[in-house]
Structures are given as C-alpha cells and as structure tokens.
Chain A
Amino acid sequence: MAKKILIIEDDKFLRELIGQKLLKEGYDIVEAVDGEKGIKSIKDEKPDLVLLDLVLPGMDGFEVLTKIKEDSKIAQIPVIILSNLGQKDDIEKGLKMGAVDYLIKAHFTPGEIIDKIKVVLK
C-alpha cells in the first residue's frame, strides 16, 4: 500500500511542486493550507508522515506540532518541519518539540526531501 504524506503548506506553488514530486515517487498525498485544516486532516486521514511548514496563517507550525503531540491518537505520526525560518533557535525548538527533522526549503531540492522522507519511513 502506498504511503500517505500530508503536506501542511500555505504557499500554493510550493505545495504543488512538492506534491507533484511525491506523486511521481509513488506516494499518496493530502494537502492542507493552514494549521487548523492540517490537524483535522491528520485526525481524519491518519497519514504516514506530515510535512509541516512553520509560517502559516492563523495557528503557526509550532502550535500545530504541540497539538499533534498532545493527542495520543496521532502523536506517533512522524513530522518533518519544512520551513524557511531557519535560525538555530527555531531548529532546536522544533526538534525538541518532537519533529523528526527540520529542513530549510531553500536548501533542499524536492528529491533530497523525499530521500529524507524515505529514511524516516523505513
């Protein structure tokens, strides 16, 4: 069965680019444009992995991460933070809050991001 990836990203272009690449690699994808819809999608769709942006309208990525980890039914789903905020403090905070990895969008190609996903899902 194909692995399901949830993409929580408010920028339409970036969302489409990474989504397209994931589909090509044989993954199923679910998309959410903000934090609240993202959390709802996790609960409804139970993805195998979540790609989470931090700068989102309304609830920010850190809040979303907190809510995921608070809910025992979804806390174990691995979350990779995919953000352009990249100061050391943010990275440490994200990892400490339970994200399995923190990737700066501008520093990784979609292919490299998928390699990281493959490692986590192994």
Chain B
Amino acid sequence: MFWKKKNNNNIFLGSDLTIANYLSDGLFVFDRDDRLVLVNLQAEEFFQIRKEKILGKSILGLSRFPNFGPLVSLLTGETKEFFRRELQPRENFILEVTSTLMIIDGEKSGTLVILHNVSREKISEKMKSEFVTLAAHQLRTPTSAVKWSLQILLDGDLGELNEEQRKILQKIYKTNDKVIRLVKDLLNLAQIEEGKFLSKIALSDIEDIIQLVINANRNLIKEKKLNFEFKKPKDKLPKVMLDVEKMKIAIENIFDNALRYTFSGGNVSISLEHNNKKEIEVKIQDTGMGIPRDQQAKVFSKFFRTTNVMKVDTEGTGLGLYIAKNIIEAHGGRIWFESEKDKGSIFYFTIPVKESFAEFITGGFY
C-alpha cells in the first residue's frame, strides 16, 4: 500500500517520495483538511516555485502565490473530482489537470491532483487551425473568380448559350459552390477547434434563434413543397446562456439536413420542450431518407456522409453534424438521434438551463 496513515489526520508518502519525483507529470497531494502535503519536482517546475514555500498551505492559501490563481479556482469549484480540465498557469503553458479523492477505509483521506503538460499538443493544434484558416481564406479568391465568371456566362453577357452549354456551366457552378461551402465549414471548424469557441455568451431566447433559422430556409421549404411545423411549448421558455452565433450554426446544420434529405411532399418539424427545470430539449424530425443502421455510429464524425444520401445529393460536406455536436456539447448539452432508413430521422439535442454567467462557468465551460 502506497499511503501510510501518520497520526489521525495526515497521510504521508514516506520514502516513496522518490517515485513521485520521477514522474513526468506534476503531483500535488492534499490531506483530508485540504492542506498541501506533497509537491513533486515536476509540480515545482510547472509552477516555478520551491515546495517549501507552499507545503502546509490550504487550497485557498495557495492563491497568494503567483500562477496559482486558476488552479485554486478549479480546485474550489463545484466538483472535487474532475478529469483533464485545462489550465493555463502562465503564457504559452497549458496543463491538463485531473483531481481524484483518495478514500481509505471508506473515508476521504485526501485529494490527488495530477498535472499533465499539453503545451506542445496545444501549440500544434493552434498552428494547424491557423493553417486551415489561412488556406480556407486563400481558397476563396479563386472560387470567387470561378463563381463570378460562370455567372457572367450564364447571364448571357458574353453571348447566347445553347442548352448543352448552359447545362454544363450550371454543373460547374454547382461544383464550385460545393467547394465554397466546404471552405466555409472548414473555417467554422478551425474556429471551433481553436477554442475561440464560445464567445459573447448572453441570456437568449432559443425560440428566436430557431425562428431565424426557419426564416432563412423558407424558400427551400417552399421549393421542395415540404410540410413544415414549428411546435412551440405552451409556456414561455426560460432564457438561457448561449453563444447565439454558434447555436444558430448548430441548429442550421441539423435543420439543413432535415430539409435536404427529405423528398418533396415530406414532413419536417421542430419542437421544443422544457420538461424538467434543468434542460430544454429541441427535436428536429423529418420523414426523409433516414440513416441506415450500420452507418449510425459514424454520423457525428468529420466528413462522414451516408451512402444513401451520397447517391442522391453530392453537395454536402459531411461536417455539419460534427460542428453541431461540438457546439452543443460546448454548451453542456447532449445530442442524439433516432433514425430508420427510408422512414426518416429525429435529431434531439438539449441545452442546459443556466441563467447566470457564474453557473455557466462552473459547469465546465472555458
């Protein structure tokens, strides 16, 4: 057994301190009274402090020391046990922090805090998404040129076109528009992964956002002669803390699928429910192509499109649901679906009802 109980209250790592010092992760151990009893070499290095200065201090007492602010906030938050939460004690230095309670003989004997350095991975991720952003913007210039020249040809500005010429030009136009949409999705994706993620969080009305998305798609609904219904709940829904722009993208992506993959004359509906106080549930239902059972597991992965959809519509990018899932989960919500091939699909997602910024923050957004 690793831990020795020394007098009633303190646990104590004897000569096994050597092992702790050889760990590549940083280690803080707090005793039952939340006083710091162990600091390994790596932790000293991460926080740029000698252990003598901080041993014996309470968690709150640590906040006086430089670089400890964010860690103290994390440790005094809602949950005492958490896994791989990100922390940035100083510039260009990111740690993943895991905290577990140590239970000996059925009682809490202390807290183990493990610090894992992910700075290199984070910098690499950042460089990757900066590259994607740059490349995506660069791709817009030639695709604009193609779009504009094709439109000029199709408008007949450079001479009348025969039917064959018109048809092929329209195909090229559509293909190019697909590239443009892909670029747009890649840009959204890069933004999401860069963690420039939830910004401008404000108390908002989810109903209004949904209505905006519906309005933007009115033409498509009409063109495809779809029967659409927006079922609102009888009572007014509470406002919730949302990143409106991002939530709009998430809803747009799910709704877009419902519209595009349902044939003419089919039914699409959006309904809202506020069953328990803690969440709002949004349901987007269609009588469209559905998702074959054997492909359902991959639905939320990047660039995935089902085979039955690809046969009928070559234009989607396969990123819509991946992006939507990221956005909804970042809000603390869940997303799932039920679907049957050729019958239709129902996509559900929840949004936790958090009414204050403080609740939003301690729920795990950062």
Contact = CB atoms under 8 A, between A and B. Distances in A.
Residue in A104, A106, A109 whose Cβ sees the most chain B Cβ within 10 Å:
A106
- Interface range on chain A (Cβ under 8 Å from partner): 20 to 34
A76 interface: no
Given A88-B245, A105-B140, A110 B191 contact: no
A66 interface: no
A57 interface: no
B144 interface: yes
A17 interface: yes
Interface residues of B, number: 19
Contact of B141 (A14, A20, A87, A111): A14
Given A14-B141, A17-B145, A104-B140, A87 B187 contact: yes
Contact of B149 (A17, A105, A111): A17
B145 A13 contact: yes
A106 B147 contact: yes
- Give the interface SS of chain B, mostly helix, strand, loop or mixed: helix
Nearest to B173: A109
Given A20-B157, A21-B157, A24-B157, A84 B141 contact: yes
Given A84-B144, A104-B140, A106-B143, A17 B152 contact: yes
Contacts of A87: 187, 191
Residue in B144, B145, B149, B180 whose Cβ sees the most chain A Cβ within 10 Å:
B144
A11 B141 contact: yes
Given A13-B145, A20-B157, A106-B147, A85 B137 contact: yes
A20 B152 contact: yes
A112 B184 CA distance: 19
Contacts of B148: 14, 17-18, 21, 105, 109-110
Interface of A: 11, 13-14, 17-18, 20-21, 24, 84-88, 104-107, 109-111
16 contacts: A13-B145, A14-B145, A17-B152, A21-B148, A21-B152, A84-B141, A84-B144, A85-B137, A86-B137, A86-B187, A87-B187, A105-B144, A106-B144, A109-B147, A109-B151, A111-B151
What are the 5 closest A-B residue pairs judged by CB atoms, nearest first?
A: A84-B140, A105-B144, A109-B151, A106-B140, A17-B148
